[in-house]
Chains A and B, each alone.
Chain A
Amino acid sequence: MEFSYEVEGGNFSKAGNAASSVKKVLKQLNVDPKIIKRVVVALYEGEVNVVAHAYKGKVLVDIDTARINIRIEDEGPGIPDIDLAMQVGYSTASAMVREMGFGAGMGLPNMKRNADTIEISSKVGAGTIVELTTKLSS
Chain B
Amino acid sequence: MDLLWQSTTPLAATDVRDELAGDPAITTVLTVLGRLETKGFLTRDRRRRPHLFRATLSRDDYMAELMHEVLGSSPDREAVLARFIGRASKTEADHLRKLLGA
Interaction A to B: no
Interface, chain B (partner A; CB < 8 A): none
